[in-house]
Every structure is written in C-alpha cells, then in structure tokens.
Chain A
Amino acid sequence: MAGMGIAIGGSSVILAVLLICFYLLYEVAPLFSSASIDLEASYSMPAEDQGESLYLTTEEQAEVGMRVASNGSIVFFSVADGSVIDTVKNLRTEKVTAFAVESDTSHLMAFGYEDGKALIVKHDYRISYPDGKRKITPVVEYPYGEDAIDVADFAIKKLTLRDGSDAMTMAAIGDNSSAITKVTKEVNFITEEVELSEQSEPLPFVADVASMLLSGDQRYLYVATRSGAMSEFDLRDFDNIALKDEMSLFNGDAKLVSMTYLLGKSSIMVADSSGRVSQWFNVRNDATNEEKLTFIRDVKQPVALVDLAMEQRRKGFATLDERGLVAIYNATSTRQVIDEKLSDNTARLISFAPRANGLLLEDSKGLHFYHVDNEHPEVSWSSLWGKVWYEGYQEPTYTWQSSAANNDFEPKYSLMPLAFGTLKAAFYAMLMAVPLAICGAIYTAYFMAPALRRKIKPVIELMEALPTVILGFLAGLFFAPFLEENLAATFSILVVLPVGILIFAYLWSRLPQQIRWLVPDGWQPLVLIPVVVFLAWFCLALSPIIELNFFGGNIRGWITHDLGITFDQRNALVVGFAMGFAVIPTIFSITEDAIFSVPKALTQGSLALGATYWQTMTRVVLPTASPGIFSAIMIGMGRAVGETMIVLMATGNTPIMDANIFEGMRTLAANLAVEVPESEVGSSHYRILFLAAFVLFIFTFIVNTIAETVRQHLRKKYGSL
C-alpha cells in the first residue's frame, strides 16, 4: 500500500515536471499548424435577376452578406442560406458604368454613371435585440447626399475614391479623358453642420487603364494600365497635378487583374494573369529624402488569377485563380497558409468576412460560403528568424515590435534581436565571470591553505544565494551611473589590477624572509585584499586626471563624438559585470570541485618527477579536470542565458542588434517578463512568447544535460584512479 502511494506520488511529481515541457509545446504548436477551409453553405445567386456581382462582402458577424449587382442594385442576403433580406435599387436610372470600393472596412462605395456623375453609397448594419436574440438589419446610406456628384463630362469607365476626415477624392477615367474631384468637408462652427465644397480638375489621360488607386492620405494617385505600366501622380498641388513617377509592375505579356491596398493602406498588392501577386510600398531614400514605390516581394500561382481579396484585420490576402483554386497568404511572413481547389465552375469573385473566419466565393453556379480557420498566418520560420522587409522600412531587417497604438500595425515578430541580445548579454557576462571564477577556483582548490579554503568557499558561494533582483537593482541604480562617471577608472582597473598584482608579487619575493614568512603559502589572497582595494582606489582617484588629460575632461562625450559610438547608461558592460557576478559562484564551485577531486596520486607523481607546482597545475591537473571546467562553463552559460531580473533592470530593454558594449539589449527572458502579462491569450503574440520560453527551456536543458553527462563521465573516470 505504502509502496503504491509513494510510487504514485513520486511519479506524479516527475510527471508534473515533464508537463512543463509538453504544455509549452502545446501552446506553441498551433503556430505551425496549417489553416483549414470548410464549406458551410452553397446556394444559387441571391436575386439572380439583378445580374452578376461587382462586389461581395459580409458584415462583422458574417451573418448578413451583401453583393453589388451589375445593374447597380445592392442585395443583402443571409449568409447561411442565401435568402434575400433586402434589395435596394440604384437611386439613379442612368446606366452604371463604373463601380469602386473605398475599402472593405469603411463600407463606402461609389457608382459611376454614363452621364459622368458619381454616387457615394454606404452599407451599414443596425443590431437590435428583440426577444433577447440578435437581429441584424442592413441599411443603405448616402453620406454625401442622394444627389450624385459631378465628376466628369464623359461616361465614367473606371472610378476610384478615397475618403478622409476632411476631404474625399474621386478619380474617374473615360474613353479618352480623365478627371479628378475633391470634396472638401468643413464643419460650420456655428451650425456645426458639415458643408461640402467640390473642386474638379482634369487629369493627364492614360489609355487602357485597368485599375486606379488613391493613397490613404489622398496625396497620390496610382494609375495602372492593363499591360502593367504604372503612373504615379502627385496630387498635393491640386491645381497643378504632375506625374511623379512611372514604373512597370510586371514584365512579359501578362495582364493586370487587380490592384488593391493591403490593410493599413501602405502596401499595394498587384495581381496579374501570369498568376503572380506582388507587393509594393513606398521606401524612403535617405540621400534624396524622397519616397519611391518599390517592389518588395511576390507570391506565385501557376495559372492566371481571377480575383484578389484582402483580410480586413490582418496583412493577409487570398487569391482566386482560373482553376477555382483559392490560396490564402500572409504578406509579412510570405507564408501560404492554404491552397485548396474550391470550385469546379467558372469562379469570379472572393471576399473575406471581416474577422477573416469566413470566405465568400462566387462562381457560375452561385455563392458558396466557407468557414476559414486561420489563426496564426503571420508566423513562419522565415518571419521568426529571417530578415523581413516591413512596411515603411528602407530594407529588410530583423525587428521585434509586437504592438503599437494603431490597429493596422504590422506586427514584427523576429526573434533574432532577442536571441542576439541574449547571447550578447551572456557573452559579456562570461567574459567577466570565466577568468575570475576559474582562476579563483584553481587557487582555492589547489594552492589555498585548507583553513582559509573553508572560509573562502562559503563566502563566494553566498554570492549564488543573492537574489538577482538585488544585483539588478544595484547594477541599474548604483553601478550604471557609477560606471558612467568613472569610465576611465573602470577601464584602467582592467589593466592596472593584473599588472599591479604582478608587481606586488615580484616585490614580495624580494622582501626579506622574515616578512614573507609571516604569510605562509596558501594565504596570499589575504595579503592581496588590501592591495586590490588600494589599486582600485588608486584608479578611481586617478580617473578624473586621466579623463582630463586624455579625453578632454569628458570621456562619454569623447566616445560619442570622437569614436561615434552610441553610449547608453544602462549598457552591456553593466550587464556583463552584474550578470558575471551572478554567474561567478556557479562556475567557481563546479570548477573548484572538479580540480579538487583530481586524484592526489597524479599531482604527487608530477611533483616527485621535479615539476613545479604551477607546471603540475597546467600540465596535469587542468587537463584532467578540463571536462569538469567545461561543464562548469556550460552551466554558467545556461544561467546567464536565462537570467531575467538583472537584464530587465540593468539594460534599456531595447531590442536592437548591435554588438556595441556601450549599448543595451533585450533578452528573450526579459522580453517574456515584459510582454507576457500584456499579451492576449491565444494570439500569435502570446504563442510566440511561449515559443521563446520553449527555446529558453530547450537551450538550458540541452546545455545542462551535456554538462551533466560530461561531469558524470568525469566522475566515473576518477573513480577508477
């Protein structure tokens, strides 16, 4: 019975411990699982008599769908079964010759007519709860009035519009002329009513236009021809519209299929008949300080594309090609999350539900609604570890920036700066800790008098018990400003200490025996303590003088101006010292054990053969103990990599990739402490943070296992001696 109980208790503890590993994996796994798409409903075209669709969309809940028919009617239908909820006839009887959508999210659309006028329409949804059940009522509104706006004196063939808080711009192209109209909104400060004023200007004509786009700030107009020639017009001087730039969107004899903005209106996505979708955005050139629309990346399907749909909340898009195959991508990670043939008939249009959890597809048989399960498209191996060209950046970079104030922000999830910061911090810490700890351990284990060793060892091991929050606090609030004030002293200490100790040792050997015998062998550190204190004080006292004579009185200024190195107060040097301090006892005590357990027979044999103590040390003891020392360094490294509080407090926590010792960093561990409490459960950000935790877990686990195995091996070897 007792045996059973203990077995159950014991193994459950061990299971609990293993649970950590599996739970982390369980949270990470969805990141890399692929998306799925399943048919939910299929029905014939609602209100088929109105004609094919020009545009398809759904409202927020994906319960009510909307299509704009080719005759200008707006048809609302139930997404679940295709039953028509409402058909709103076009207000005007003139023939609709052009149609444009402002954006999926603004719900704003425009019809262009054969008489050169345009009507702005908005579809909206009222939610009410009669009998406690949600009811969605679609409505059509005319935010710029029910009278059409004069845009041109020709039949409009292509139309585009952009709405803003204080102006709305529309560009129209006819058979052989084009025009642009700006409607300025001004709030009358007495009546508080919005007054509209229109201004129309002719636009340089471009023939064979396939698509037009107005930039989000209404400053530029992009006009693309069917063969992929793109002209960019500068609208800032509205009376004097000039051609700013011309470029070719694609080569060969492909034809333009669609050109739209990705979420955030900074990337233009261009789909063509060769099956390629390319992403373009403005990149600032530092030399000329001008922005130029630049090709960023592309994805490809083997056959011609038919339609392109954008996600409304993420930087994702879907393509529909001639085969009826739908592929969903994420622009940032360039990841194709799904690739599935959905229609055997002639497919015409696709559209995402606002939450990107549904997809509407129109083909010659009617409408089909699919449920899309696509949780983490923005994460891919290349977006986590590779360089990515983010919107607004001049070149591909490694960047970690998980959140921002606006919704259309492009999350930047590169783990590289964090991994780099982690290794940088660990490197500087090891640089400080390894020499001190190993030299100290050599002396303590081999040269030190046993009586002193019994005292010194606990003192150094006490360091290990010091909470790292205290080290971090001292590093951030005491050491960082101290170091900044005494930079010269800090660097001179690095040189003066070893040299000073050597000089002292030489002088000591010249002293008369009576004095030397006062300190027996193995007690040297006690003599050295005052020496080291004196040397450190000496450097500190000398610091202002060095600074004055060599660095013009301001070493910090000298570093920033003369060397051109950025200097942060909380930098890698501070972290190196503080974390080195935390790591020293770990390395020290394992190394000390390894050296101390080298069998005495070996050393005595060496000494008997006439080797000096130091020769015995370097030729016999160290080689024998080297696996132990290796494992000590590994374990120390593991500790430095996972340390959180010190880096959190002693660095600026900026995720930069720069090996500069005078700049800070952000480590994986500190990043977890900062961001985990604020991330939304189940989001990509949350799972990436779990991935970071998993990486840390695995890294330290592997490092420790290697170290442990080496140590076990070593122990076995000595056992036989």
Chain B
Amino acid sequence: MKMKKKSVSEWVKSGDPWVWLNAGAVAISVIMVLGLLLLIAVRGLGHFWPADVVESHYALPGESEYNIVAERVESLEVPAAQLREAGIDIPDNHQLMQRTLMKTGNRDVYGSDFRWVIDEYITNTQRPDMLFTAERREWGNLYGYLKAVKEDGQITSQTTDLTPTDSALATWAVFEASIERAAGIYDQIHDIEKGDIGKINYALERIRLKQRRLELEDKLTPAAEADLAVERSQYDEEYKGLQQSLIDLYQAFNRDTFVVQVMDGSEHEMPVAKIVHAYRANAMNVGQKMSFYFTKLWEFLSDEPREANTEGGVFPAIFGTVMMVLLMTVLVTPFGVVAAVYLREYASQGWVTRIIRIAVNNLAGVPSIVYGVFGLGFFIYFLGSGIDQAFFPEALPSPTFGTGGLMWASITLALLTVPVVIVATEEGLSRIPRNVREGSLALGATKAETLWRVVLPMASPAIMTGVILAVARAAGEVAPLMLVGVVKLAPSLPLDGNYPFIHLDQKFMHLGFHIYDVGFQSPNVEAARPLVYATAFLLVLVIALLNLSAVTIRNHLREKYKSLEM
C-alpha cells in the first residue's frame, strides 16, 4: 500500500487526530495505573533499605554555621521568592533553589525529626563510617557517634575517636553485644507479659464472670464461692511468682547504658534497652545492606507495631485481615452459592426472579458505608445487645457482642460481597451445557444428585472466581469496617491459646484501616509515611494476587468448557 503525505486539513479530515487522542487516553490511563503501582512499590520497599547518613556543615546566609547529621528524604525545587517570604535572606540573583528534607531523628533531643535545608548552603558533606543509626522503642531514630558503653553506671568500653580506629570498633562491638543481650531479655519479658500474665488475667476474668453469673442466677452458694476463691488464689500465687521474675528481668534489662554524641556535639546517655537495632549504614557493603534489608522486611511482616503504629511491623493487622476474610469466606460461599442455585435452577424464571436478579446486581453497587451503617445498627446495636442480654448477662454493662467485633465485621462484609458470589456462580451455572444435565437425569439421577454430583463440580471454578473476587473486595474494604469492629491497636490477636481459642467478639486490626489510621490519625505523619507506603504495597500485592488468580481460574474455566460446547 502506498501512502501519500497528507496536508494538515486532509489529515484532520481523515479523523486520525481523534484516533490519536483516544490512543492518548489509553496511554494516560496505563501510565497512571503503572505509575501508581510503581510509586507505591518504590516508596514502600525503599523504606527498609539502610539509608546512608550524611554529616555536613550548613549555614544560611547571615546565620552561624552548624553541623547537620541526617538521612536525605526528598528534594524539591522551589522559587526563591517563597523562601524569602519565609524570612530566609537569599541573594537576589537566585530564582530557583533546591530544597531537601533531612531526617535528623533524635526527636527527644531536638523536638522534631525532620528539617528542610537549602542545598546551596550545604558544605563539606561526608559519610563517616562510625556514624550510626539506632532504631529505638520510643522517640524514633537516633543518629550519632558512640562514645562509651556502661554497665551499671561503670564504663566498660569507651572511645574518643570518630573514625573507625581500633578503640572505636571495640566499643562498637561491646555496644552490639549489649544490644543483643537486651534484645534477648526483652523477648523473655515480652513472653511473660503477653503470654503468661495475659493467660492469668484471662483466667481471672473468667472466674469473675462465672461468679457474677452464679450471682445473677441466685446459685452463688458459699461452697461455690469458696471454690472460686481457691481457684483465684492459685492464679494469684502464680501471678506473684511471675511478677518477681519480671522484676529481676527488668533489672537486668536496664543494666546497660551508652553515651552518644549527637550532631551539635553534645553527649547524651541513654539506656541500651531502648534500642531495637543499631547499625552503621555508611560502613555496610551491598551484601550487608541486602541482608539487613531482608531482616527488616521480615520484621515488618512478623512484628507488632511500636510507637503508636508508626514503627515496627504490621503482623496483627495482617492476621486480623486474614482472619476476617477467612470467616467471611466461610459465611459467604455457602449462602451465595445456595442463592445462585436457587435463582438459576429452582426458582421459576418469571418477572420475580428478574427483579431479584436486578436487585442483587444493584446491591453490588450500593456504597459500602451503607453496609457499615446497617451492620452497626442491625447487627451490633440490635442483635448484639439482644445476644448480650440473653447469653452474657454476667459481663454487662460492658458489652460482649453489643460492640463491634470480628464476627460482626465478617458478617457485614459477607453481606457486602454476597452479590459478587451470586453473580459469578450464576454465570458459571448458565455456562453448563444443557445436555450434561439431561444426561445425568436420563441416567436416573435425581435433580439433587445431578446438582450435587454434576452441576456444582462443573461450576466450581466459577464459584471459586466469585469467592476470590469477594475476598479481594473484602480485603480492601475499609469504610464499613470502621463502624463494625476495626481498631487501631488490638491488645491481643483474635486467635490464641485461651479457651475458646477464637474470640469472635474481639476487635481486630486491619491492613486497610492501618493505612488510614497511621497516615491520617498519627501524631507524627511524616515519620510514619514510609511505613504507610509499605503497608499499602503489601495490601496491593495481596489484592493483585487474588485478582490475578481469579482471572486465571476464569480463563481456565473457559478453556474447560470450550471442549464441551461441541
């Protein structure tokens, strides 16, 4: 085909420009999706990389020079006029200035974690090997030089060097050993506090409820009361023992302290017990950084959150999300499938079924917050308080099921996602060729047998698709959960070793809500931001995987029936 070059008007007339514009819309949409995923991935995964710490001199014009030790966070170009408005004396020949956000950490010393600096006035930037970063259990990161390590107030090792001399490295080694020791004790304390003492408290609470219940039923005989008292005293005894060992452990835990020199040259003494990790990022090679990276990543997935959720891991949120989604699946699958089977196989196909079908379809489009409001009003306030009156009078006035919890959240989300399962299952059922059914019936199977042995197995991939889509939707839904049982910090997991093991009435944490809470409700949003990106990435990953598997199953299903449609 030979094409002549066209003039502009011919080109416009051919309609090509419009086609290109439409192609542009596709390109923009694709860029937006991929860009967004890339942004979340980069920011989320970048968080765990041990960033270099720089030390520089910084002096604004007309102000005295000072030392700054920090991690670089991000850079921006700003008009100089804006900076002048902010009261910085910038020479007239500058129009645009590069501005960088530095994370200086040491919130306990300086009052804030971050400060903006203008790149132009940074001089003498170095990456000293001995500069270390310490992640602490409170107050955020610490940056500085290690000067000494003390045991019970006695110096065990010290150095005056800021360069990696033998003495500095020796002190560092003592410091690392001390951190490891404290971490070991911390684990023991944690085990006792959360595990053993938690168990005792739980048992004591059960005894209290038992007593209250007997009292309400007028069966609290002196004998029963004495029995309960004996039981209680056993636990109290056990508790006292644990209390003693805790005191000892805490003493050992708080034994060591260290002295650090921060960026303004002042020295501070701090307990080693406060430190989670300490590392010298500038001295690490790529291999070490990689291994550190994966340690941090694992910690993110497996640890509990610290510092009002802005640091540490998200394990309880992952666990809560999974538990809630599992329970929801257990509820939604049978009901959704039964409803679909009824609509497709049993109900007479008249205007009633058509209306029901439209209604079910539309319910998928009802805003999720409406389900949340319904769940709160109907399940929690109406059913829940009824259940409390009938079955848990001993715990009143504190509600058991009359408040948001795992069970209500799962049921609410099951209601929210049941249309998805119904629609997908119906589609699957409609794809099953008529002759398969008729064949089964001709061989003497009843309608129920046909359904159970032939139709449902053949529709199972469609059912799976529906369930997976429902799970994907439920995992990402936050608005209704905010009303029916999600909390920012749950004291314990909804599944543990205490009878009855699954605590359906308990409030739980959720990845999506974690994002909302940490990103918008936390006192130190700037410091928490990387963690939010990481959580968001995790959530996107889970949901993308779920969706991809739904698509794969759907394709597989189509392939399978192609052979039947002869």
Residues of A participating in the B interface, judged by any CB pair closer than 8 Å: 1-3, 6-7, 9-11, 13-14, 16-20, 23-24, 27, 435-440, 442-444, 447-448, 456, 458-460, 462-463, 465-470, 472-474, 476-478, 485, 497-498, 501-502, 504-506, 508-510, 513, 524-526, 528-529, 531-533, 536, 544, 547-548, 552-554, 557, 581, 584, 588, 612-615, 617, 635, 638-639, 641-645, 648-649, 669, 672-673, 676-677, 681, 689-690, 693, 696-697, 700-701, 703-705, 708-709
Contact = CB atoms under 8 A, between A and B. Distances in A.
Contacts of A24: 370, 373-374, 377
A469 B525 CA distance: 16
Interface stretch (B103-111, B136-144, B162-170, B357-365): B357-365
Given A529-B31, A676-B376, A642 B366 contact: yes
Contacts of A447: 19, 22-23
Contacts of A474: 36, 39-40, 536
A533 B519 contact: no
Interface of B: 3, 5-6, 8, 11, 14-34, 36, 39-40, 76-82, 85, 95-96, 334-336, 338-343, 345-347, 356, 358-363, 365-374, 376-378, 381, 415, 418-419, 422, 446-448, 451-452, 472-473, 475-479, 482-483, 512-513, 515-516, 519-520, 525, 529, 532, 536, 539-540, 543-544, 547, 551
A506 B21 CA distance: 11
B516 A462 contact: no
A273 B249 CA distance: 83
B29 A436 contact: yes
A477 B539 contact: no
Contact of A700 (B8, B21, B366, B483): B366
A509 B361 contact: no
B361 A10 contact: no
8 contacts: A13-B418, A469-B539, A477-B520, A506-B8, A557-B85, A612-B15, A641-B367, A696-B370
B94 to A, nearest CB: 11
Nearest to B353: A14
B453 to A, nearest CB: 12
Nearest to B375: A20
Query: Considering residues A466, A485, A642, which has the most beta carbons from chain B within 10 angstroms of its beta carbon?
Result: A466
A126 B346 CA distance: 69
Nearest to A679: B376
A689 B373 contact: yes
Contact of A676 (B32, B363, B373, B472): B373
Given A9-B338, A465-B544, A469-B516, A23 B368 contact: no
Contact of A708 (B95, B358, B370, B515): B358
A10 B347 contact: yes
Given A20-B366, A502-B21, 19 more contacts: A1-B448, A3-B447, A13-B418, A16-B415, A459-B34, A466-B476, A466-B543, A470-B512, A473-B516, A476-B519, A477-B525, A524-B20, A547-B79, A548-B79, A553-B81, A642-B365, A673-B369, A673-B372, A703-B365
A696 B369 contact: yes
A335 B224 CA distance: 59
Contact of B16 (A23, A505, A532, A552): A505
* Binding site secondary structure of chain B: helix
Contacts of A501: 20-21, 24
Contacts of B36: 466, 474, 581
B14 A612 contact: yes
A643 B476 contact: no
A470 B540 contact: yes
Given A20-B374, A696-B367, A439 B335 contact: no
Nearest to B356: A14
A134 to B, nearest CB: 19
B374 A614 contact: no
B367 A13 contact: no
Contact of A10 (B33, B343, B519): B343
A645 B376 contact: no
Contacts of B361: 704, 708
Given A10-B347, A20-B371, A462 B33 contact: yes
B39 A478 contact: yes
B358 A705 contact: yes
Query: Considering residues B15, B360, B472, which has the most beta carbons from chain A within 10 angstroms of its beta carbon?
Result: B15
Contact of B539 (A470, A547, A588): A470
B551 A458 contact: yes
A581 B543 CA distance: 17
Nearest to B332: A13
Given A439-B22, A649-B519, A10 B342 contact: yes
Contacts of A3: 346, 447-448
